[in-house]
Amino acid sequence: MQHNGWSKMLVLAVLSGSAVAQVSPEKASIVVNGKSGEASVVRVNNRTYIDLESLTRIGTGTLSFRGQQITLTLPGGSPGDAPAASPEPVPPPSPTRLSKNFMMAGIETIAQLREWGSTMAYAIQNNYQVTEAWANGYRDKAASSLRLAGAAATTEADRNALQLLTNEFANVETWSKNLVEAKRSMDTAKYATSPDALRDEPLSQKIITCGRFLGSMLGSAEFSDDASCH
């Protein structure tokens, strides 16, 4: 089988209304990998076709045929070639973005703080026995979660959020101690007479507001601040 001349023309489409032989080739300057040369080209229907052997010669490549398969191999560009386009720079991470591990640990800490606070409130409002040892069991679980969140804090945003979590822990701890002392001194009757009495106390409101804020902030994975957590 012969593979010379225009038998190797890269014509890959059916030319409607005319045959390849009816199109006159023209000379053009071709540049391949920085190497230039002259080759015959054919322009049909706004497409340009070039002889593969000419393309191989200009690019100092190799051309082989096996059945219906044509393999064209061109070497890489020379050192004098124009440099390849630089990849798009990767934008730096947002300074307020929370790391995934810290976010998950923080959410667990909030869950433990809510369990501690809601259990204390339920026990006080229903006049159940409340002791310091019993309350400390919930405190220790929340403290453990807070330590894990601290270990997971690897960015400035994480550390800023950790401080807010620590503040919330300290407020819940103070509130819990106040309730234990009120129970010891038998000063909890006011909480049993009104379902909102305990919730409406300033420290309770501060804890509730901060807890909601922290849950929303951690869920968004973006650090922000709120006065209720200070």
Q: Using 50, 70 and 90 to split pLDDT, how confident is the model at 43?
A: confident
The residue behind tokens 């934008």 is 91
Residue 72: beta bridge partners? Answer: 63
Distance CA 112, CA 48 (A): 70
Share of the chain above pLDDT 90, in %: 49
SS3 at position 21: helix
User: What is residue 111's predicted lDDT score, i.e. its pLDDT?
Assistant: 97
Q: What DSSP designation does 224 have?
A: -
User: What is residue 15's predicted lDDT score, i.e. its pLDDT?
Assistant: 35
Distance CA 50, CA 55 (A): 7
Pick from 220, 224, 208: which is nearest to 103 by CA?
A: 220
Q: What is the pLDDT of residues 77-127, one digit of tens each?
A: 555 555 556 677 777 778 999 999 999 999 999 999 999 999 999 999 888
Q: What is the pLDDT of residues 168-191, one digit of tens each?
A: 999 999 999 999 999 988 888 888
- 189 versus 162: the higher-pLDDT residue is 162
Distance CA 62, CA 60 (A): 7
Distance CA 203, CA 69 (A): 80
**What phi-psi label fits residue 34: left (phi over 0), alpha (psi between -120 and 50 degrees) or beta?**
left
Q: What DSSP designation does 49 have?
A: E
Helices (H), the chain: 52-58, 100-125, 132-152, 156-184, 189-193, 202-220
Distance CA 200, CA 206 (A): 10
Distance CA 203, CA 219 (A): 24
Domain boundaries, the chain: 5-73, 100-229
